Chain A
Amino acid sequence: MSVSLSGVGLTHANGQVALSEVDLQVKIGERVAIIGPSGAGKTSLLRLLASNLQPSSGQIHLLGQQPWQLGARQRQKLRARIGLIHQAPPLPPRQRVVTAVLAGKLGQWSLGKSLLSLLHPLDIPGAQAALSRLDLADKLFERCDQLSGGQLQRVGIARVLYQAPELILADEPVSAMDPVLAGHTLSVLNEEVSRRGMTLLASLHAVELALAHFPRIIGVREGRIIFDLPPEAIGANALDALYANEQLPAVPTSAAPAPVSVQIPRC
């Protein structure tokens, strides 16, 4: 079993309930799409699975281990086996793509190798291979701030492919790409995942992409799993119920970082 949640609930610090009574089992090698309206708890669920958030209640098993029962060092070892693809990959603007991709393996590298690689990229072929899967090999030595949002998302995917984790969690991985590219990128991701025997959980905004690329679909609404079905079994009624026009609490978007200015005091 790759992922197993039983009775998991999550309440934010401000008292807002993000997830309640979630039960979910995902076997090794499965590919699962999570769909639902915005603010339904998809991101919270993925961050929970990335051991970024600690559940308020219930049991969580990742790759056979309970992350919050482990010591900090053991938990970092577990995290190195899990890859998270962010919707907007948090890459330092001045970092080069090659460094950003190589950073995926920091959990597996020794400190000395990590620091050395910062001065001179130690595994250029590896980074290039990961990037060329996503048709970005020519951007290897560009700086991240010279890429578009969709290219950045693909760099984020390349980073996780390079990390080669056992479990990949993807939070809206193709949201900034045009539909054709989004479909292509998703199929590349799925191919890689099945070829290497990884497990994939991806939240998607576009339902048709989810239905087209994933053999198992989970519908989330108001912090609960509404359905858990193969795509053929999902009818229009189920989708209408999932996306029923209702005022859901909007996701608090993080404000753009203020432009940093170098204020130099004199005297």
Chain B
Amino acid sequence: MLNPVLRDPAALPRLVLTLLAVLLLWPGLTLSELNLVVLFDERNATNMGRFLVDFWPLAHDREFLRLLARATLETLAIATAGMALALLIAIPGGLLASRALSLSAVHRGGRPAWWAQALRWPVRGLLIVLRSVPEIVWALLFVRAVGLGPTAGVLAIAITYSGMLGKVYAEIFESVDPRPSRALLVAGSPRLAAFAYGVLPNAGAEMLSYTVYRWECAIRASVVMGFVGAGGLGQQIDLSMRMFAGGEVASMLLTFLLLVLLADQLSRLLRARLL
């Protein structure tokens, strides 16, 4: 042993990392006021217990079931209508943000000119802002703007999901084989025609699949958005919870689970069919 290497080179980074973790954990715990004991506090526990006991039997009188059915349909409709509006924004947004149809890129081996790239950034920035503000914040804003009810939910989904769809569409356009569209562009065809004949045939299936998948997400989102008054199942859950009507909450949660399960199956079926 001429040169004993007895110091662990990873010791210092690990020590620093551990100290950092502890240093961050402390304010984290204070700020989040994490306190598990409060759950087992006697008064809270009995309150909660009474509420949970009410979960059974499920509420199932005729009046309530009619309300439930209407709320469920409303949730489905919010998701579907929201997605339809989102598509209206996402497709042009995706086209503007994507490099796939760049005219300047045709002669530069696929790399657009710097000014063309710079022009795409505002669109990309807009898409980022649209999708980075959570949908429920949009819903809250629209509830204030257009009043309580499903319209706010539809608009919120349209805004958020157009941001997500636009980004993914742009990526899909760029990922397909660029040669057909480039050939068309070089031959002088307009960009929309190049898109329709050069990109869409290859990208269509993937776009549809992703859209259907997002639709499934929109159903979950529309339920959640109901909590701020954007209609659908969520609004009813919120109301019943405020009235401590355990049976109604349980029925509606169960309906929500079934709806999500159904949407999952339907979306899987559609995607298998379309791909």
B residues less than 8 Å from A98 (CB atoms): 8
Residues on B with C-beta less than 8 A from A96 are: 10
- A120-B14, A132-B1, A267-B216 as given contacts; A141 in contact with B6, CB under 8 Å: no
Q: Which residue of B lies closest to A265 (CB)?
A: B213
| B6 pairs with A124, CB closer than 8 A | yes
* Cβ contact within 8 Å between B5 and A141: yes
Instruction: Select which of B1, B11, B213, B217 is within 8 A of A137 by beta carbon.
Output: B1
Q: In the assembly, what is the distance between CA of A147 and CA of B174, in Å?
A: 39
Chain A residues, Cβ within 8 Å of B10: 96, 141
Given contacts A141-B9, A267-B214, A267-B216, contact A119 B1 (CB under 8 A): no
A125 at the interface (CB under 8 A from B): yes
Known contacts A267-B217, A267-B220; A121 and B1 CB within 8 A of each other: no
Asked if A43 is at the interface (CB within 8 A of a chain B CB), the reply is: no
Alpha-carbon separation in the docked complex, A188 to B213 (Å):
61
What are 26 of the A-B contact pairs (CB < 8 Å)?
Answer: A98-B8, A119-B14, A119-B18, A120-B8, A120-B14, A121-B8, A124-B6, A124-B8, A128-B1, A128-B4, A128-B5, A128-B6, A132-B1, A137-B1, A137-B5, A138-B5, A140-B5, A141-B5, A141-B8, A141-B9, A141-B10, A266-B217, A267-B213, A267-B214, A267-B216, A267-B220
CA distance A65 to B18 in the complex (A): 44
Those of A108-166 within 8 Å (CB) of chain B:
119-121, 124-125, 128, 132, 137-138, 140-141
Closest 10 CB pairs of A and B: A267-B217, A124-B6, A141-B9, A121-B8, A132-B1, A140-B5, A120-B11, A125-B6, A124-B8, A141-B8
Q: CA–CA, A124 to B1, complex, Å?
A: 14
- Given A120-B8, A267-B213, 9 more A-B residue pairs with CB atoms under 8 Å apart are A96-B10, A121-B8, A128-B5, A132-B1, A137-B1, A137-B5, A138-B5, A266-B217, A267-B220
Contact partners of B18 in chain A: CB under 8 A:
119
Closest Cβ of chain B: how far from A102's Cβ, in Å? 11
How many Å lie between the Cα of A125 and that of B8 in the bound state? 11
Give min CB distance, A68 to chain B, whole Å: 40
How many residues from B make CB contacts under 8 Å with A?
15
For A124, list chain B residues within 8 Å (CB): 6, 8
CB distance from B263 to the nearest CB of A (A): 11
Q: How far apart sit A120 and B12, CA to CA, in the bound complex (Å)?
A: 10
Query: Residue-by-residue, is B184-225 near A (CB-CB < 8 Å gives 1, otherwise 0)?
Result: 000000000000000000000000000001101100100000
Give the size range of A's interface with the partner. 10 to 19
Nearest residue, chain B, Cβ from A132 = B1
Residues of chain B within 8 A (CB-CB) of A121 are 8
B209-252 contacts to A (CB < 8 Å): 213-214, 216-217, 220
Chain B residue at smallest Cβ distance from A125 = B6
Residues on the B chain within 8 Å of A141, using CB? 5, 8-10
Whole-angstrom distance between the alpha carbons of A167 and B1 in the complex? 28
Q: How far is the CA of A42 from the CA of B10 in the complex (A)?
A: 40
Which residues of B are found within 8 Å of A267, using beta-carbon distances? 213-214, 216-217, 220
Please name the residue on chain B nearest to A141 by beta carbon: B9
On chain B, the residues within 8 Å of A140 by CB distance are 5
Which A residues lie within 8 Å of B220 (CB)?
A: 267
**CB-nearest residue of chain A to B10:** A141
Task: Give B201 Cβ to nearest chain A Cβ, in Å.
Answer: 26
Complex-state Cα separation, A125 to B213, whole angstroms = 56
A55 to chain B, nearest CB (A): 43
- A96, A98, A121, A266, most chain B CB atoms within 10 A: A266
Scan residues 13-31 of chain B and give those whose CB is less than 8 A from a CB of chain A: 14, 18
List CB contacts (< 8 Å) of A86-107 with chain B. 96, 98
Taking CB atoms, residues of chain B closer than 8 Å to A119 are: 14, 18
When distances are taken between beta carbons in the complex, the residues of chain A under 8 Å from B216 are 267
- With a cutoff of 8 Å between Cβ atoms, the chain A residues found around residue B8 in the complex are 98, 120-121, 124, 141
Query: What is the minimal beta-carbon distance from B99 to any residue of chain A, in angstroms?
Result: 23
Residues of B within 8 A of A125 (CB): 6
A18–B18 CA distance with the chains assembled, in angstroms:
50
Task: Kindly list chain A residues whose C-beta atoms are within 8 Å of the C-beta of B9.
Answer: 141
Shortest Cβ distance from B20 into chain A, in angstroms?
14
A120 CA to B13 CA, complexed, in Å: 11
